[in-house]
């Protein structure tokens, strides 16, 4: 194999790998949904975390919740059936929108990172993410936006 063919083959392999990673992240692990805003509370269904794998219900680690009235999305992590974290996806360094990678949120602007509870794990940000109280009510999650 000559040098040109080698470089071309590596480039195609890299693109395929990146596309597959993006596809897997979007379909299996995460989900972007629209929440319902009532007064200052945002509601999502608990079933939004469910996914079926080989006829077995499994749970996504997180969902990203959007609503037209919100300037940034909220990432809701499911720690277990009763414990959730709702995190405002705005970097506390200079305000860029964060991206989610499994259990961490990362800022594309200057590299700050936060864990799934909103705590800073990588600077330059030095303040934790804004987070909101989450209450399980029947088959819904109530995210209280005014209380913080």
- Judged by CB under 6 A, the number of residues near ligand FES is 12
Min dist CB 31 to ligand FES, Å, is 24
- 8 Å CB contact between 118 and 128: yes
Min dist CB 97 to ligand FES, Å, is 9
Cβ neighbours around 133 below 10 Å, total: 14
- Using CB under 6 A, which of the segments 17-25, 26-34, 93-101, 127-135 binds ligand FES? 93-101
124 counts as binding ligand FES under rule CB under 6 A:
yes
Quick one: 96 exposed, middle or buried, by C-beta within 10 A (0-12, 13-18, 19+)? middle
- 8 Å CB contact between 97 and 84: no
Residues that bind ligand FES (CB under 6 A): 91, 93-96, 107, 109-112, 124-125
């Amino acid at each position: 194999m000559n040098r040109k063919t080698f470089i071309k083959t590596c480039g195609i392999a890299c693109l395929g790998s990146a596309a597959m990673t993006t596809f897997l992240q979007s379909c299996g692990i995460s989900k972007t949904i629209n929440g319902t805003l009532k007064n200052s509370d945002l509601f999502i269904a608990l079933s939004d975390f469910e996914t079926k794998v080989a006829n077995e219900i499994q749970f996504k680690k997180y969902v990203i919740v959007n609503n037209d009235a919100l300037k940034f999305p909220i990432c809701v992590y499911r720690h277990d059936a009763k414990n959730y974290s709702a995190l405002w996806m705005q970097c506390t360094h200079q305000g860029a929108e964060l991206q989610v990678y499994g259990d961490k949120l990362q800022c594309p602007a200057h590299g700050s990172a936060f864990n799934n509870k909103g705590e800073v794990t990588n600077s330059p940000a030095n303040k934790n993410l804004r987070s909101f109280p989450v209450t399980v009510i029947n088959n819904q999650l109530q995210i209280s936006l005014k209380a913080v």
